[in-house]
Amino acid sequence: MQLKRVVVTGLGAITPLGCTVEEYWNNLLAGKSGAAPITRFDASKFKTRFACEVKGFKVEDYLDKKEARKVDTFTQYGIAAAAQAVADAGISPENVNLDRVGVIWGSGIGGLDTFQQETFAFAKGDGTPRFNPFFIPKMISDICPGHISMRYGFRGPNFTTVSACASSTNAIIDAATYIKLGKADIIVTGGSEAAVNESGVGGFNALQALSTRNDSPETASRPFDKERDGFVLGEGGAGLVLEELEHALKRGAKIYAEVVGGGMSADAHHITAPHPEGLGALNVMKNALQDAGMSADEIDYINVHGTSTPLGDVAESKAILGVFGEHAYKLNISSTKSMTGHLLGAAGAIEAMASILAVKNDIIPPTINHFTDDDALDNKLNFTFNTAQKRLVRAALSNTFGFGGHNASVIVKKYA
């Protein structure tokens, strides 16, 4: 069968760098850090006392107070990001068939804050089970796309992908695949996460995964720097409207970029550590290129997973060299996690968005906080350290790798 072409016609963002796409993108290009001391709870006794929190978010712009209390923060972020994307795409019941509009969303953890609040309340009580009737509907990871579909009456495919930090990249790949196969005209996709709480910070501290650079939060996320000591926890979400090309053209939609391929793989190695030679990362990038029908030298930019962990950054750079060979030295590579922190299941969505905007605007957001070269890396690679760089960006690849060895990569290119 002839596969359909898939384009991006809408974007929305709720991030530590801003609660609109414009704010997010401008702050990325400016090299601004979203890290600061934690305000969500008293973190004074934690090993890590800072995070990349969403700032200035007004849930009442998207939900009334009564409805907002019925949903976890991760769903609030998801509803808001999707609402921006739907408005940006100009979707209305008059110009779409609601039966053929779906929502495929990614979240690695879901309603952790709700689970924590309800558990804390029960533990403080007398043992009598008094739980909020919305406890389960607030907590479950799949509830966010359900709420988005109900908000607009979208009756197409509707589910959540859960693959740790690869979750929303998997959602984007699934969304593009459904459209390519003709099973939907439009899918609202992306991801959201809200794990900046005692359980989230405490759990990742126990894994020794987070930076403990409490004296300088804004420089703590430093991918590919010799002194990196772990990632910075982030929160937020991003929404993308993917649409079948002819459908988009017929309704006169603006087009940001084309989604041309996606790859998936497993490390099959360790629950949290990457394969030391980057085998899973190498395979997933090869799979994405094969799916896109592209050669390695057609890629100009890689938005890397680049979490700022000692093992992960080395493994990913090895994989890039393995896939791209000599062309690797002509690439721009950057980790926007250096600014946003790590949004866990939502990371893929905000980073795919950064890749889309890089393709559209021919500019590469930087990897900030580079101070010292790491001899374990090939420092001839262009990691776009500290300053954005202008260049022609024909196509970009976005990597996300999750605990459990889950890997997902998506490729976007200029629409023509």
As annotated, the active-site residues are 165, 305, 342
Q: Are 107 and 239 in contact (CB under 8 A)?
A: no
CA torsion through residues 226, 227, 229, 231, sign: negative
Amino acid at 38: I
Q: How far is CA 337 from CA 34, 76, 275, 347, 369, in A?
A: 10, 22, 21, 8, 11
Nearest Cα to Cα of residue 30 among 412, 366, 373, 406: 366
**Six-digit token pair at 159?**
């589910």
SS3 (DSSP) at 123 = helix
Residue 380: both structure tokens together: 């001839």
- Write the Ramachandran bin of 127: left for phi over 0, alpha for psi from -120 to 50, otherwise beta: left
Cβ partners under 8 Å of residue 345, min gap 6: 106, 107, 108, 109, 162, 163, 164, 165, 167, 168, 191, 192, 193
Contact 277, 305 (CB under 8 A): no
Q: Quick check: 154 and 188 in contact, CB under 8 A?
A: yes
- φ, ψ of residue 367 in degrees (nearest 5): -100, 105
CB 402 within 8 A of CB 309: no
The answer to whether the beta carbons of residues 401 and 167 sit under 8 Å apart is no
- In whole angstroms, how far apart are CA 276 and each of 146, 280, 311, 316? 39, 10, 7, 9
Q: Are the C-beta atoms of residues 110 and 199 closer than 8 Å to each other?
A: no
Q: 33: helix, coil or strand? A: coil
- Residue whose C-alpha is closest to residue 139's, from 166, 160, 154, 167: 160
